[in-house]
A and B are shown apart, each in its own frame.
Chain A
């Protein structure tokens, strides 16, 4: 909502404050963009909404055969491998989709940005939100699988919005960082994709942490995604709060990523718009 009735290009821009103000002012537009993205996702494919649900299920199915039946990972605590696997796949997919989408959102919307004034950060944040919405929808299959395998649905499931919110902060922050850089060097997006792949492998999504040799454990612990995944799994089927360190690490990395991303974006904003 750009109904500013007074525009002065000299008006000082306060880093972080301006961005959050812009996002708040444009919340109607953000809601519209997320809704449109969801609609388009369903309209395009013949399967429609089922594809969003089917896609992770197919990936999980293949991985379940390979890792569950052939490698036979034991993920402990009597949890069926498929539940462990699906929860891991969904979260890591959420992370990678959100970050890439948010990272390419500004370059991707260059058409609009070159014709109408819209704060560019609106597009990055909307992209991350779209991925979050998709994630929430695909949780449905996980719930169904949990019921089928007898794992059930603990009350802690209602706390799922917490790790989702944290993931939103993380991916929006990273996305803004990438988006700002991408206008100068488009290759950044490809580099980010590789980096995300790497982080995905370092996250125990399809393997239990027990197979990691002790001396390499610290790498996994350092990986922020591990804390998100652990908290998420704990709420989703563990029925418990995992240790506070995990929770704190998750929240801290989310806040830091968001603030850093917004701040870096704020600094490069001017040259960004001109280069589009």
Chain B
């Protein structure tokens, strides 16, 4: 008896994409769901190898594609900070030193030795963001993680992002928040069904994308 199962057709998430991001440039990527934006981010973050073509990234990378990878609920925030930071490419010893500072930035000082199991989703998000951004990267890959926490925290996060950009990081930002893209991007790209529909000035690209949706 043959098992009935779903078969997958081969689908190219991205086709013929060619892009360059210069030093210190902020590229905003917009597009509908399923456009291939996440796939692009993952390829830049080295999580997915390209099936065809080539990806070259120069410099240290801070990927922010879903925070809190490897968070273990049974362990304390301290242990998780060290683990998460190490997974992101830093050294365990360095993370142990940074842990109090990281917790402090997320206003979680008193909860450093508390198991993550007791954290609210907001606290988890703040912790994840704090660890992920506790770095001075050359390349920042951000995928929709800016909108966590309350208004005060959102402002704090935006400031931190701004500092990284001012320090010269190249940024690839994927966002559905078109306002953010308009505010901080130097260039923008509209991705749809794996293809680049338009690339260039953020205002033009955003306008074109919005027109297609509206």
Interface residues of chain A, those whose CB is within 8 Å of chain B, are 1-3, 5-10, 28-29, 31-33, 36, 39-40, 43-44, 109, 111-118, 270, 273-274
The answer on a CB contact under 8 Å between A116 and B74 is no
Least CB distance from B45 to A in Å reads: 6
Please give 4 more A-B residue pairs, beta carbons under 8 A apart, in addition to A7-B46, A7-B57, A113-B47.
A28-B92, A36-B79, A39-B75, A116-B47
The answer on a CB contact under 8 Å between A117 and B75 is no
Which residues from chain B contact A116 at a C-beta distance below 8 Å? 45, 47, 63, 69-70, 87-88
Which residues from chain A contact B87 at a C-beta distance below 8 Å? 29, 112, 116, 118
Interface-located stretch among B28-36, B48-56, B194-202: B48-56
Which residues from chain A contact B177 at a C-beta distance below 8 Å? none
Q: Kindly identify, within residues 120 to 177 of chain B, every residue whose CB is under 8 Å from any CB belonging to chain A.
A: 138
Q: Taking the complex as formed, is B4 at the interface, i.e. its CB lies under 8 A from any CB of chain A?
A: no
Which residues from chain A contact B50 at a C-beta distance below 8 Å? 9
Least CB distance from A186 to B in Å reads: 12
Least CB distance from A273 to B in Å reads: 6
Which residues from chain B contact A113 at a C-beta distance below 8 Å? 47
| Cβ contacts A to B, 28 pairs, < 8 Å | A1-B91, A2-B46, A5-B58, A5-B60, A7-B46, A7-B55, A7-B58, A8-B56, A9-B50, A9-B56, A10-B54, A28-B91, A28-B93, A29-B92, A32-B92, A33-B83, A39-B79, A43-B75, A112-B87, A113-B47, A115-B47, A116-B69, A116-B70, A117-B46, A117-B47, A270-B49, A273-B49, A274-B49
- Given contacts A32-B83, A112-B70, A274-B49, whether A9 and B91 have CB atoms under 8 Å apart is no
Least CB distance from A198 to B in Å reads: 25
The answer on a CB contact under 8 Å between A40 and B86 is no
Majority DSSP secondary structure for residues of B touching A: loop
Q: Taking the complex as formed, is B108 at the interface, i.e. its CB lies under 8 A from any CB of chain A?
A: no
The distance in angstroms between the C-alpha atoms of A31 and B95, with both chains bound, is 14
- Given contacts A39-B75, A115-B47, A117-B47, whether A7 and B61 have CB atoms under 8 Å apart is yes
Interface residues of chain B, those whose CB is within 8 Å of chain A, are 42, 45-51, 53-61, 63, 65-66, 69-70, 72, 74-75, 79, 82-83, 86-93, 138
Which residues from chain A contact B82 at a C-beta distance below 8 Å? 32
Residue of A nearest to B47 (CB): A117
The answer on a CB contact under 8 Å between B54 and A8 is yes
Which residues from chain A contact B48 at a C-beta distance below 8 Å? 273-274
The answer on a CB contact under 8 Å between B92 and A31 is yes
Least CB distance from A25 to B in Å reads: 10
Count: A-B pairs, CB below 8 Å: 94
Least CB distance from B58 to A in Å reads: 6
Which residues from chain B contact A33 at a C-beta distance below 8 Å? 83
The distance in angstroms between the C-alpha atoms of A40 and B76, with both chains bound, is 11
Which residues from chain A contact B42 at a C-beta distance below 8 Å? 114
The 8 closest A-B pairs by CB, nearest first: A117-B46, A115-B69, A2-B89, A9-B55, A7-B57, A112-B70, A28-B92, A10-B54
Residue of A nearest to B65 (CB): A115
The distance in angstroms between the C-alpha atoms of A3 and B95, with both chains bound, is 14
The answer on a CB contact under 8 Å between B72 and A40 is yes
The distance in angstroms between the C-alpha atoms of A39 and B79, with both chains bound, is 10
Least CB distance from B20 to A in Å reads: 14
The distance in angstroms between the C-alpha atoms of A31 and B92, with both chains bound, is 9
* 8 Å CB contact of B89 from A3, A40, A43: A3
- Given contacts A31-B92, A44-B74, whether A115 and B86 have CB atoms under 8 Å apart is no
Which residues from chain B contact A1 at a C-beta distance below 8 Å? 86, 89-91
Which residues from chain A contact B88 at a C-beta distance below 8 Å? 2, 116
Least CB distance from A70 to B in Å reads: 41
- Given contacts A5-B60, A9-B54, whether A32 and B86 have CB atoms under 8 Å apart is yes
The distance in angstroms between the C-alpha atoms of A270 and B53, with both chains bound, is 14
The distance in angstroms between the C-alpha atoms of A221 and B89, with both chains bound, is 45
Least CB distance from B150 to A in Å reads: 25
The distance in angstroms between the C-alpha atoms of A5 and B60, with both chains bound, is 5
The distance in angstroms between the C-alpha atoms of A10 and B122, with both chains bound, is 40
- Given contacts A32-B92, A112-B87, A116-B88, whether A40 and B75 have CB atoms under 8 Å apart is yes
Which residues from chain A contact B58 at a C-beta distance below 8 Å? 5-7
Which residues from chain B contact A44 at a C-beta distance below 8 Å? 74
Which residues from chain B contact A118 at a C-beta distance below 8 Å? 87
